[in-house]
Chain A
């Protein structure tokens, strides 16, 4: 009965899926590794760092950076796939 979703709806759905995955990782690396599980992670060491402390003061920031660039690449691909890119 219901009409098949239009291309626009599919594009939007895929966009939302991408956002959900990336924001989930965003939450895990900062609020998770940097705050909620910091005590547990601090029992693990990498070099002179306790892992939880490293996430809170270094790792989360590197992860944020990777997330944005993954998003850029993924969305550029998606735009082309659905022919909604700008050029």
Chain B
């Protein structure tokens, strides 16, 4: 069988599996649709959370980003895992005890205000839509690269699959497909990584291979520092970003992770408070397998690419370099006409352009693995994109059917609410697909938005809602709006209004737009405290609610009322 046939076969099989699970786990009530009936085991929820969390970007792009930024890439590794500590210790158990269906549910009830609820819904929708457009695009890109279909076709097929299992199965269908998707994606990620690690360093465990030797007594990382240094690049193991900026970006990503509604809502699906704690641990364990492998894939990839191209004759490059040149992910242009490839930091004389996704996508070919592994990586990338897309679409549909419709029309029947949830999920799929086919030019930029907004809007308000009995409605609304407006303004100013000023000397205290969510969060905290102290404390029933969520006893099933 040739490569294309293998890819069709493996991607097709994985799709058939997801559809089978969707039919088996069809949702029959709003409770099943929103939170899978609250009966997901901690282990299954951990697996599902890991798949939910790891997107097309984690799977395809993160290793490449680290390849090109070296030490600076650590902000993503620490930021996107450290958030789970905050989630497990500060939010998940209490929100599970609270026992409803959504983040706006909590904000609305704890701050006894539908205004607060609506502000929370707007944040949730904005965060989820920015994210989901990128996932749909990811599905399209995988289709076009591996299956030789136009991107549009890829997006439409991806939409159809997600439509089927998200609309039909709701949270229940999504949960069990995500479990399967995690298995597919982690297997696809690890197989090439293990073989490359073995070839380069003789150690089959990539996490150890990263610290291994490439030649007798020469560690890989030292060799990489040396090779990059000779070409005029900065050291791989030391960064270019300033310490305050590294600090603020890492913080914004951690806090943003803990505040993302599609991640938080996964902890509503387990039966008990202690399950919520445990499943956060499982989730991080499953995420850590990929996140500790990614820096190894990054270093191996960079080393391989330099070794096989730099100063080599253009007509004698390895086959995989030639293959990926056809997809434009590797571009070579002999600017000085010497017949050799020069990889240099100066864009004017650099002759080799490498797309960041190549580190993962070309892995099987670099390691000279059989064709079926290439098909497996395609199925893995698809699993990563689809699982995240489905989780986000559920947040969108729940926000509309429950947080908006049900709040203002509390008398609608369960059946009708379920129908509205399905219709809004369908609408969201179509809208996400539209953005996947016609991506707004700023998809990459809006990721900073999603994390910045989650950090500056949700996180402080949820945290204070649990750990303070004094913070009230006025404080929460003022805090959320301050964090939101500040963060949106700062990012918009540097990304859209004056992109030419987006350099360290113009940033406030050297904080890049990626890290500004941290400052937005601090402002949110300050305003929330200040305003709360100047206005009356929350009513007695809210005080009791807070005491109630602080102890695990009596969690029971999530309820509508």
Residues of A within 8 A of B (CB): 8, 11-12, 15, 19, 22-23, 26, 30-31, 34-36, 38-39, 42, 46-50, 53-54, 56-58, 60-62, 64-65, 67-69, 71-72, 75-76, 79, 83-87
Choose, from B281-289, B318-326, B369-377, B417-425, the stretch at the interface: B281-289
A65 & B288 in contact (Cβ 8 Å cutoff): yes
B89 & A57 in contact (Cβ 8 Å cutoff): no
Does more than half of chain A's interface fall in helix, strand or loop, or is it mixed?
helix
B277 & A75 in contact (Cβ 8 Å cutoff): yes
Choose, from B168-176, B399-407, B546-554, the stretch at the interface: B546-554
Q: Is B219 an interface residue (CB 8 A)?
A: yes
Interface size of B by CB at 8 A reads 52
Chain A residues, Cβ within 8 Å of B550 = 8, 12, 15
Chain B residues, Cβ within 8 Å of A72 = 88, 274, 277-278, 281
Binary contact readout B58-96 vs A (1 if CB under 8 angstroms, 0 otherwise): 000000001000010110011001101100111001000
Q: Is B359 an interface residue (CB 8 A)?
A: no
Q: Is B272 an interface residue (CB 8 A)?
A: yes
Give the distance to chain B from A68, nearest Cβ to Cβ, in Å: 4
Task: Count A/B pairs, Cβ under 8 Å.
Answer: 139
Q: Is B207 an interface residue (CB 8 A)?
A: yes
Q: Name 12 interchain pairs, CB-CB below 8 A, sorted by A.
A: A31-B251, A35-B247, A46-B211, A47-B219, A53-B74, A53-B238, A58-B207, A61-B292, A64-B82, A65-B281, A86-B274, A86-B555
Chain A residues, Cβ within 8 Å of B77 = 56-57, 60-61
Binary contact readout B200-227 vs A (1 if CB under 8 angstroms, 0 otherwise): 0000000110111100000111100000
Residues of B within 8 A of A (CB): 66, 71, 73-74, 77-78, 81-82, 84-85, 88-90, 93, 207-208, 210-213, 219-222, 237-238, 243, 246-247, 250-251, 254, 272-274, 277-278, 280-281, 284-285, 288, 291-292, 295, 547, 550-555
Pick the residue among B88, B238, B250, B288 that contacts A61 (CB under 8 A): B288
A33 and B81 CA atoms in complex are apart in Å by 16
A64 & B284 in contact (Cβ 8 Å cutoff): yes
Give the distance to chain A from B97, nearest Cβ to Cβ, in Å: 10
A47 and B550 CA atoms in complex are apart in Å by 45
Chain A residues, Cβ within 8 Å of B250 = 30-31, 34-35
Chain A residues, Cβ within 8 Å of B295 = 57-58
Query: What 6 additional pairs, Cβ within 8 angstroms, besides A48-B220, A60-B82?
Result: A12-B550, A19-B90, A35-B247, A69-B281, A84-B551, A86-B273
A61 and B250 CA atoms in complex are apart in Å by 13
Given A26-B85, A50-B237, A68-B84, residue A56 in contact with residue B78 (CB < 8 A): yes
Pick the residue among A8, A56, A61, A68 that contacts B551 (CB under 8 A): A8
Chain A residues, Cβ within 8 Å of B274 = 72, 75-76, 79, 85-86
A53 & B71 in contact (Cβ 8 Å cutoff): yes
Chain B residues, Cβ within 8 Å of A87 = 272
Chain A residues, Cβ within 8 Å of B284 = 64-65, 68
Chain A residues, Cβ within 8 Å of B71 = 38, 53, 56-57
B211 & A49 in contact (Cβ 8 Å cutoff): yes
A56 and B77 CA atoms in complex are apart in Å by 8
Chain B residues, Cβ within 8 Å of A15 = 550
Chain A residues, Cβ within 8 Å of B555 = 86
A65 & B285 in contact (Cβ 8 Å cutoff): yes
Give the distance to chain A from B146, nearest Cβ to Cβ, in Å: 29
Chain B residues, Cβ within 8 Å of A26 = 82, 85
B211 & A48 in contact (Cβ 8 Å cutoff): yes
**Which B residue sits closest to A82, measured CB to CB?**
B551
Give the distance to chain A from B510, nearest Cβ to Cβ, in Å: 14
A84 & B552 in contact (Cβ 8 Å cutoff): yes
Pick the residue among A11, A49, A83, A85 that contacts B221 (CB under 8 A): A49
